[in-house]
């Protein structure tokens, strides 16, 4: 299964909105075929692994297929993998997890069992879950998994008071940040960051065939038409009101304007997360300033923080989250460290909210 997970990881940047799945077929302790999910509409991991076995002249009849998610049992963009495994005469299937997709949800394994195939599930389930955390989130909650990235000095500054922020962390951390961008299907930022930095917010330095969709929260459509982010692939610009001329100009340039107001004349962030889920975005990567970061946290739209800390002190500057002062320490927002790593000269922290959001009104 560990090998199947390694194959799944090879599909990291390829398979969205489908999950990244790997499959390894084994006979007598020898791997006779392996593969991972292809881009949406093309072959799933099981089919790839069986094709690999055939290409190598190996007979899969009676062999064991290790697959990082329950084989699908429905006609989606491709026919069911459960049928293909039965037809090929696979003897045993070991799955890391059952499929959270309500169209599958145990039916794939049940079909295999009904056809006389021995089935085991729940092997290295945690690793399999992490690899597809966004797909699981979307299937279970209708919401993407939202990861909010900040780069800060050791004393927590993300920019100088005048907005200068390039660069706080070193080249290794910045490249690592691009890998996290690449695994998301959307990168979310605010108009404040666009005005201050004029960023492109695309993936650079990572070999990926797909670029995440750039999503800009801009209540009053203030974005300049010559902003660098608008010069590449189409963006989704999320406003609180239509302002027709600007919206028309953005649409004429190929971008989409989405209007989602809240009661305060800003963008309704929980509604935006729902909309991104509907648009089959599995993982959202937030890279914004302290204002939008704080609103995202306050409105329970964030699942985890990806924090890079540089070994430097900046002094007064902009913080990570423009949150209101607390009257009682007991009201602090509690997270737990999920992963810690050293990246170049910097430290990377992955922290999750202790009580994850369950639903958004």
Ligand X SMILES: NC(=O)c1ccc[n+]([C@@H]2O[C@H](COP(=O)([O-])OP(=O)(O)OC[C@H]3O[C@@H](n4cnc5c(N)ncnc54)[C@H](OP(=O)(O)O)[C@@H]3O)[C@@H](O)[C@H]2O)c1
**Which residues are tagged catalytic?**
46
Q: Which is nearer to ligand X, 198 or 248 (CB)?
A: 198
CB of 285 to ligand X, least distance (A): 11
Among 1, 2, 44, residue whose Cα is nearest residue 21: 44
Name which of 329, 320, 318, 275 is nearest 296 in CA terms: 320
Question: Residue from 151, 229, 230, 309 that binds ligand X (CB under 6 A)?
Answer: 151
Residue span 190-219 as binding mask against ligand X, x where in contact by CB under 6 A, dash where not: xxxx--xx-------------------xxx
**How far apart are the C-alpha atoms of 356 and 336, rounded to whole Å?**
11
Residues 265-324 that bind ligand X (CB under 6 A): 266-267, 269, 287-292, 295, 318
Minimum CB distance to ligand X, residue 222 (Å) = 6
Q: Please, which residue, 99 or 197, has the CB nearer to ligand X?
A: 197
Nearer to ligand X, 172 or 222 (CB): 222
Q: How far is the CB of 231 from ligand X (least distance, A)?
A: 19
Task: Identify which of residues 39 and 163 has a Cβ nearer to ligand X in the complex.
Answer: 163
Tokens of 139: 């299937």
Largest CA distance in the chain: 70
Q: Return the residue nearest ligand X (CB atom).
A: 289
The DSSP 8-state label assigned to residue 148 in this structure reads E
148: Cβ contacts below 8 Å, ≥ 6 apart: 286, 288, 293, 296, 297, 302, 304, 305, 306
> Which candidate, 98, 14, 91, places its Cα nearest to that of 48?
14
Binding mask of the shown chain, residues 113 to 132, with x at each position contacting ligand X by CB under 6 A: --------------------
What residues numbered 156-175 form the site for ligand X, per CB under 6 A? 158-159, 163, 165, 168
Draw the binding track, 1-20, toward ligand X (x: CB under 6 A; -: no contact).
--------------------
Minimum distance from residue 177 beta carbon to ligand X (Å)? 9
For the chain, what is the radius of gyration of the CA atoms?
Answer: 22
Q: How far is CA 66 from the centre of its chain?
A: 24
Cα–Cα nearest to 175, from 314, 346, 360: 346
Fill in the DSSP letter of residue 318: B
Shortest distance, CB of residue 86 to ligand X, whole angstroms?
50
Q: What is the dihedral of CA 205, 207, 208, 212, to 10 degrees?
A: -10
Within 220-249, which residues bind ligand X (CB under 6 A)?
A: 220, 222
Residue 64: C-alpha distances to residues 95, 133, 189 (Å): 11, 26, 45
Binding site for ligand X (CB under 6 A): 150-151, 158-159, 163, 165, 168, 189-193, 196-197, 217-220, 222, 266-267, 269, 287-292, 295, 318
């Amino acid at each position: 299964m560990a090998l199947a997970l390694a194959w799944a990881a090879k599909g990291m940047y390829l398979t969205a909105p489908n999950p990244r799945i790997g499959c390894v077929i084994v006979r007598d302790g020898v791997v006779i075929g392996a593969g991972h999910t292809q881009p949406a509409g093309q072959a799933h991991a099981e089919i790839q692994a069986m094709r690999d076995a055939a290409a190598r002249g190996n007979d899969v009849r009676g062999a064991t297929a290790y697959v990082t998610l329950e084989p699908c049992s429905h006609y989606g963009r491709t026919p069911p993998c459960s049928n293909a495994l039965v037809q090929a005469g696979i003897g045993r299937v070991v799955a890391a997890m059952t499929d959270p997709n309500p169209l599958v949800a145990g039916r794939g394994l049940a079909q295999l069992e009904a056809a006389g195939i021995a089935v085991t599930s729940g092997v290295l389930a945690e690793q399999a879950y992490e690899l597809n955390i966004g797909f699981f989130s979307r299937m279970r909650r209708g919401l993407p998994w939202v990861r909010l990235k900040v780069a800060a000095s050791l004393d927590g500054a993300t920019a100088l008071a005048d907005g200068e922020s390039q660069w706080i962390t070193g080249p290794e951390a910045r490249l690592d940040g691009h890998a996290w961008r690449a695994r998301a299907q959307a990168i979310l930022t605010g108009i404040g960051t666009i005005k201050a930095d004029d960023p492109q917010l695309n993936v650079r330095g990572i070999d990926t065939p797909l670029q995440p969709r750039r999503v800009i929260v801009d209540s009053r459509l203030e974005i300049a038409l010559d902003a660098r982010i608008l010069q590449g692939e189409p963006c989704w610009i999320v406003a609180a009101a239509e302002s027709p001329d600007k919206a028309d100009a953005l649409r004429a340039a190929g971008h989409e304007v989405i209007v989602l107001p809240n009661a305060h004349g800003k963008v309704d962030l929980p509604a935006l997360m729902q909309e991104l889920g509907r648009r089959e975005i599995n993982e959202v990567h937030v890279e914004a300033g302290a204002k939008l970061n704080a609103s995202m946290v306050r409105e329970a739209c964030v699942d985890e923080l990806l924090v890079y800390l540089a070994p430097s002190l900046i002094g007064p500057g902009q913080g990570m989250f423009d949150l209101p002062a607390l009257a009682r320490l007991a009201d602090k927002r509690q997270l737990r460290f999920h992963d810690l790593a050293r990246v170049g000269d910097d430290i990377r922290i992955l922290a999750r909210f202790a009580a994850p959001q369950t639903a958004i009104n």
